[in-house]
């Protein structure tokens, strides 16, 4: 029945397709393919230019089968329809949601691009950048550099970490490690002529 509905849809028989998709949903509501039937119902409405009914049908899928594999397609379709209906703020929410939940998938990537296009087309959708505060500088005033007291490794009255004796450079350089020639496990060729 689902295949027959898809065939009707492909042939442009949207009323017949929708009726078959609805019948499948009624008779097989627990089937893993019920989400596809719901998507078919909504797509049939959309193909007939019945945007309000299509949005309602897509939202029905989104709300009643949130873990269905068809939900991302439904959200993308709602975003498209809302953009078409001149509701870019609502469309942006759907596109950003898909991009956030499926950032590496093709639909998530496409949704991310659509979200950016909407932001460029409608700059008022982008929240304003935070304004700097005028409460004064956030930096600490310069502090004097103190040297350690003679015979000590810390500066009196400071919070400096004590210097370790091993961190002080030594006058004796470290011993050099000899560099050995590489060893070979294969014997050298003998008796070869140039």
Confidence grade of residue 126 (pLDDT, cut at 50, 70, 90): confident
Is the pLDDT at 167 greater than 70? The verdict is: no
What angle (nearest 5°) sits at the alpha carbon of residue 177, between those of residues 171 and 179? 145
Q: Which residue has the tokens 């269905």?
A: 68
Is the pLDDT at 22 greater than 70? The verdict is: yes
Q: 2-125: what fold?
A: 1.25.40
Domain ranges of the chain: 2-125
State residue 166's pLDDT score: 47
Is the pLDDT at 116 greater than 90? The verdict is: yes
Q: What percent of the chain has pLDDT over 90?
A: 61
Q: What's this model's pTM, rounded to 2 decimal places?
A: 0.65
- pLDDT digits 0-9 by tens, 147-156: 666 666 555 5
């Amino acid at each position: 029945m689902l295949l027959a509905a898809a065939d009707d849809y492909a042939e442009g028989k949207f009323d017949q397709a929708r009726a078959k998709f609805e019948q499948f949903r009624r008779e097989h509501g627990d089937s893993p393919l019920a989400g596809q039937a719901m998507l078919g119902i909504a797509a049939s409405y959309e193909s007939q230019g019945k945007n309000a009914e299509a949005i309602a049908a897509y939202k029905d899928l989104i709300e009643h089968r949130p873990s269905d594999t068809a939900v991302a397609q439904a959200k993308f379709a709602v975003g498209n329809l809302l953009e078409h209906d001149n509701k870019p703020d609502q469309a942006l929410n759907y596109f950003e949601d898909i991009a956030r939940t499926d950032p590496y998938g093709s639909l998530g990537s496409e949704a991310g691009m659509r979200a950016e296009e909407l932001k460029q087309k409608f700059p008022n959708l982008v929240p304003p950048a935070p304004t700097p505060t005028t409460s004064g500088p956030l930096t600490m005033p310069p502090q004097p550099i103190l040297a350690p007291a003679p015979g000590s490794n810390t500066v009196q009255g400071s919070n400096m970490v004590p210097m370790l004796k091993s961190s002080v450079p030594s006058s004796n350089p470290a011993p050099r490690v000899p560099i050995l020639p590489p060893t070979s496990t294969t014997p050298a060729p003998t008796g070869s002529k140039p």
